[in-house]
Structure 1
Amino acid sequence: MSTESLEKLLAKGMDNALLRFGLGKGYLDAGEFARAAEHLQRCVEFDPKYSAAWKLLGKAQLEQGDSRAAEQAWQQGIAAAQGHGDKQAEKEMTVFIKRLQRQAPSS
């Protein structure tokens, strides 16, 4: 479903984690990182255990140049993934954080 179709559903008052995730992923794929982050943030507010949303939220924030927010999102995503046994998402976000920490200039 296109972001345009999803936006129409949102405008009609349908608002939930899955809709926000779809919008966030669509905007992320389209390179609209600020809009993606906005929808993914709402998604995790609806469902803090949605580890895939935390993962994409971190990516959207990183693409906007906010590595600190990205790392925080991934940390929360790891906790969410551990909470329901999502080993793959946990592993991916752990790798993202390690990569981010390697790139950070040492102080």
Structure 2
Amino acid sequence: MRNAGSGMRNGGRPATHVEAPMNSNIERCERALAKFPDNAMARFSLGKAHFDLGDFEAARGQFALALAAKPDWMAVAILLGKCEQALGNKPAAKETFERALKLAIAQHHEGPQAELEQLLAESGAA
């Protein structure tokens, strides 16, 4: 017989098929970051795990630190802008998207450039 509590998480609520793996992903990322606190990829991974769960506040903090460590990391800048947008911080989102757009152009990333131009146009900032 299976343990009746094995599918319970989050204060006794049943875990969804997405929730349980993502929580373990956050835990794995936190362990990696504890071992390697200066590792920007570990910090990005933790931010992305939070982002994927919709925890934009936690994701924003991790992405900001990763971007401070690697200022030319375009993908992180895009995700940071999306966090700001989701949190309702329109000026910060616009500023971050503009920064990411400059990086996309400088790094010749046409797909992200088009995405950023669309995000800026939709926000009325283009």
Common fold by TM > 0.5: yes
What is the aligned counterpart of 1:17 among 40, 43, 48?
Answer: 40
User: Which residue of structure 2 lines up, in the alignment, with residue 105 of structure 1?
Assistant: none
In structure 1, how many angstroms separate the alpha carbons of the residues matched to 2:91 and 2:113? 18
Q: Runs of 5+ in structure 2 lacking a partner?
A: 1-23
User: Which residue of structure 1 lines up, in the alignment, with residue 107 of structure 2?
Assistant: 84
What is the aligned counterpart of 1:7 among 22, 25, 30?
Answer: 30
How far did residue 21 of structure 1 move?
1.6
TM-score relative to the length of structure 1? 0.87
How far did residue 56 of structure 1 move?
0.6
Q: After TM superposition, which residue ranges in structure 1, 4 or more long, deviate above 4 angstroms?
A: none
How far did residue 37 of structure 1 move?
0.4
User: Which residue of structure 1 lines up, in the alignment, with residue 84 of structure 2?
Assistant: 61
Q: Look at both structures and tell me which one has the larger radius of gyration over its CA atoms.
A: 2
The higher relative CO (CA closer than 8 Å, separation ≥ 6) is in 1
The letter of the residue matching 1:90 is Q
How far did residue 38 of structure 1 move?
0.4
The letter of the residue matching 2:27 is E
Given that 2:36 and 2:42 are in contact with CA atoms closer than 8 Å, whether structure 1 keeps it comes out as no
Higher helix share: 1
TM-score relative to the length of structure 2? 0.75
Given that 1:24 and 1:37 are in contact with CA atoms closer than 8 Å, whether structure 2 keeps it comes out as yes
What is the aligned counterpart of 1:73 among 96, 103, 106?
Answer: 96
Same amino acid, percent of matched pairs:
27
User: Which residue of structure 1 lines up, in the alignment, with residue 119 of structure 2?
Assistant: 96
